[in-house]
Amino acid sequence: MINMVLAAACATLFAMAVGGATAFAAIVPRIDSVSPSVAVPGEKIYIFGGGFSGSDNYVNFVRARNPEGQIIGFIKAEEASGSYVSFVLPASAEINPPAGCLVAGRVCPPTQLSLATDYYISVINSKGGSNAIAFRINASDFGSAPPTLYKISDSERVYLIIGDTRVYIPSADAFLAAGYAFSNVVTVSAEKLDSYPLATLIKSRDSDRVYAIKDNLKILWILTAVDFENLGYNWKDIVTVSPHILASYRALSLVKTDESPDIYVLKGVLGSASPSKYRVASVEEFLAAGYKWSDVIVIRSVELAMLPNAL
């Protein structure tokens, strides 16, 4: 029944978007994953897949408990490439349908998204409609269920489990500020913990900026979507965390590549200033500045090339 609902929605949106054209393009939208799959109002959501056009993508909501019933509403996607679209979950519960939207011959009214509710979402554009994927709106930043928090017996390090990956929480202050409780931390075997690979890409739920995690604790801002794709990253590998957790990570500051002995000082890679790199001219300069060899992190040459040289 979900496909029937989506087909009707596709016809409506398609007629609205292209003025009643008679045939769909060959490549219709396809959803592979959504990140995060559980979100709160005001949070930015990324949908990954294919067949997403540049400007006419709409996200369709159908209530999971009654998927054969009335469509809840549409949200216009903010940005798109061939492989992803993004939208912001409205800060208020009410969403307004696109101009000209008709369902069963009637103008689509403003509709209400409910908190702590499960939905199916799909993407609709001039090429057609995608498959549906499960999505949940939570009532608060911490959701209706406690987070999954793991540690092992011989270490004090606590990890937040997100999907099939784990995120290291660097400090107790960040842990508590994010609203977590130590009573929810579960001690597991090293084998179980290792079954969740460490996250490599991270963002805060209050920002679009994506960072690469290096050395388990330091992060490097990936400046643009073009850089992201040129670096070979996958959008669905991004994990979204509390801003308190992201703020507890440190900026990558001293780097080199395997291809050269040159060491660079990085500035502004947390996004607070214009990012840049500066090559340290000599060993003497390195030592005089108080730098430590143990703080130098090896990164890929393509990552280093992403950053402009300091003026």
- Rank 73-77, 98-102, 157-161, 305-309 by mean pLDDT and report only the highest: 157-161
**Alpha helix (H) residue ranges in the chain:** 2-18, 172-177, 190-194, 225-230, 243-247, 283-288, 301-306
Partners of 102 in the β-ladder: 107
Mean local confidence (pLDDT), 139-144: 46
Biggest CA pair distance of the chain: 77
Would you call 309 helix, strand, or coil by DSSP?
Answer: strand
Q: What is the pLDDT of residue 194?
A: 95
Note if the pTM is more than 0.85.
no
Q: Which domains does the chain have, with CATH numbers?
A: 2-137 (2.60.40.10), 149-250 (no CATH), 252-306 (no CATH)
> Is pLDDT at 289 greater than 90 in this prediction?
yes
Mean local confidence (pLDDT), 56-62: 84
Confidence of residue 94 (pLDDT cuts 50, 70, 90): low
Distance CA 300, CA 16 (A): 46
Distance CA 4, CA 71 (A): 11
Mean local confidence (pLDDT), 156-161: 94
Confidence of residue 8 (pLDDT cuts 50, 70, 90): very low
Q: Are 306 and 231 in contact (CB under 8 A)?
A: yes
Distance CA 153, CA 192 (A): 12
Distance CA 265, CA 255 (A): 7
Backbone φ and ψ of 283, nearest 5°: -60, -40
Confidence of residue 36 (pLDDT cuts 50, 70, 90): confident
